[in-house]
Amino acid sequence: MELQCKVAVNAAKERIWPYYADPAMRYAWEDDLESIVFDGEVKTGTTGRMKLKDMPEMQFALTEVIEGASLCDRTDVPGIGSLFFGHEILQEKGKTYIQHSVRLEKNIFTEEDLGFLCGVFADVPGAVMKIKREAEK
C-alpha cells in the first residue's frame, strides 16, 4: 500500500539533493523533526536514528541511495509493518520534479492500516512544497 506526492520544481537537482542528504537541511522541511543522525555516509545500507515530536526515537536504514537522485529509508513499526519513505528527484520532459512516497509493507492489509498510512502521509504534501519553496529561492 503506497501514497505519493509529486510536484514540479524550478531548480536543478543539485540544488535539491542536499535537502535529503544533509541532516541539517532536513529541518527545513520536516516540521516535527527533533533530531536525525546517520551512522555513516548517506549510502545504501547506512543506518540511523530520528526523533519526531511526541514520538519515541526510531531506527531507520537507507535501503536505496542514488547520489543526486533518490533516497529511500525503511523504518520497522512493531505490530504494524515496515514503512518505506521514498524521496526522488525526477527529470521528465525537460522539467524537474520531486516525489515523496510512503509505502507500508506487511502480509495482510486492513482498513486500519490505510488509516495509519494516511496519518503518516498527512505531512508529506506540505513537506514537498517546503522543499520546492526553499530550492527555488
pLDDT digits (tens, 9 = 90+) for 81-114: 999 999 999 999 999 999 999 999 999 999 999 9
Strand ordering across the sheet containing 58-66? 2-9, 95-105, 81-92, 70-77, 58-66, 47-52, 33-38
Residues in the chain: 137
Q: Which of 52, 99, 98, 107 is nearest to 75 (CA)?
A: 52
**Amino acid 129: pLDDT:** 98
Section 12-31 average pLDDT: 95
**Half-sphere exposure at residue 41, Cβ-oriented, CA atoms within 13 angstroms:** 5
pTM to 2 decimal places: 0.94
| Grid cell locating 126 | 506540505
**Half-sphere exposure at residue 11, Cβ-oriented, CA atoms within 13 angstroms:** 19
The region that residue 98 occupies, defined by phi over 0 for left and psi between -120 and 50 for alpha, beta otherwise, is: beta
Band (pLDDT 50/70/90 cuts) for residue 76 is very high
